[in-house]
Structure 1
């Protein structure tokens, strides 16, 4: 009987150890699946560069995130997507991809990268496959698009926002001196980026968050709402915010990005 009892105890101990190991593995897998994404990639829009993200960057860095900023050439949608994918490839682990304005079209394409677990649209476009933001914008025109002479096109097909209109249209809630500087440091943007249709739409397969800038004059706030409703995005409306919401309301914008980082994999 003693050898039999010892054998039973041995088998029981083995089963318990095996069960314990399986539970530990399951807990580790669950923790990995629900752990916050620590990588954030920020994408700017037309006419500006990545430096406008600095207020948001500073908050995210302070909160422990690994933050990278894409500097797009703004020469074509393909070039801007490639620049974004290049930065995404440098990330180690799950990543939240964030964009402002035209950058929304860029992340809609680039966001299909396997390490992207969530998308954040900040006063941004989010077209579907076959759509382009220029055509969609005509359906819900913005204040700026109806303003004669506000958007200027060069002879070689690049665009910029009239410096006289830039402060009130793009950055009404930014300190005036900063808005004037941005108006005179614009990156001329190829007109074709606005009319290039999407070939993929990452928001159709990945969770998304959207910020509506309620006083946006560059993109109609109703178009932003429509985009986010269609994508079933977690939507935040920031009253009084201009198109420069990512610069003027960094705490609220960073909070939405961190919410995405915490819940995109949940």
Structure 2
């Protein structure tokens, strides 16, 4: 979707093991620049449920919006981004499957990430291992902040990674990617491959998988860039 309307709406979608509060700094930076920012709270119970949660927020927008996803949120925005309000997509160290693919397929052929340890319960829900959380998810935050993030993490139904994606918004809408070069959740080659495959404008930045917190200035700047370029 290309629009001549100024884009002032931004919708932020968090990933697995987290909630929307991690976007606070990005929210504050964008609202200070005149943007209207909405944050989705994904239930992380299924792709369908997360897409529905995102769609409900998109329905509330009063004009075109930039849709932003972190990590698993990339899969969510890939499908939810077909919404007519979405003018552009921003992937923040995020997954970017194609229609007909699963999220799990994106990992095939890439190196494992041994520091990103997921413990899976009998009910099929996964948590990041508490002892490995700081190193694996948020190595560039303080120990106290990492402990809080670990204690407040939201479990994800691991079945979501095997769900086939029904649509790929990036095929029709411009995309940007911010990639953390010290991300321990994904092989760096995997992140670069996904972003290149979707034709994203790529920004590399030093940081952990928690770059939506620690590199909020860069993430906000890329969102602004997307808002300006999607409206041409």
In the superposition, the TM-score normalised over structure 1's length comes to 0.84
1:193: how far off?
A: 1.1
Moved more, 221-230 or 199-208: 221-230
Partners of 1:192 and 1:54 lie apart in 2 by 29
Q: Does 1:100 align with 2:70?
A: yes
Q: Does 1:265 align with 2:231?
A: yes
Structure 1 residues 38 and 142: CA distance shift in structure 2, 3 A: farther
Q: Which segments of 5 or more consecutive residues in structure 1 lack a partner in the other structure?
A: 1-31
Q: Any residues of structure 2 matched to 1:1-266 within 5 Å, and which?
A: 33-144=3-114, 150-238=117-205, 240-266=206-232
1:228: how far off?
A: 1.2
Work out the number of aligned pairs and report it.
231
1:141: how far off?
A: 3.4
Partners of 1:137 and 1:184 lie apart in 2 by 27
Partners of 2:137 and 2:32 lie apart in 1 by 28
Moved more, 33-42 or 191-200: 33-42
Paired residue secondary structure (1:34): coil
1:138: how far off?
A: 3.2
In the superposition, the TM-score normalised over structure 2's length comes to 0.96
The two structures, once aligned, show a CA RMSD in angstroms of: 1.4
Structure 1 residues 39 and 142: CA distance shift in structure 2, 3 A: farther
Counterpart of 1:28 in structure 2 is none
1:120: how far off?
A: 0.2
Cα shift readout 1:95-143 (whole Å, capped 9, x = no counterpart): 0000000000000000000010000000000000111221221321342
Paired residue secondary structure (1:67): strand
Structure 1 residues 33 and 202: CA distance shift in structure 2, 3 A: closer
Partners of 2:27 and 2:4 lie apart in 1 by 23
Larger Rg: 1
Partners of 1:141 and 1:166 lie apart in 2 by 19
Counterpart of 1:24 in structure 2 is none
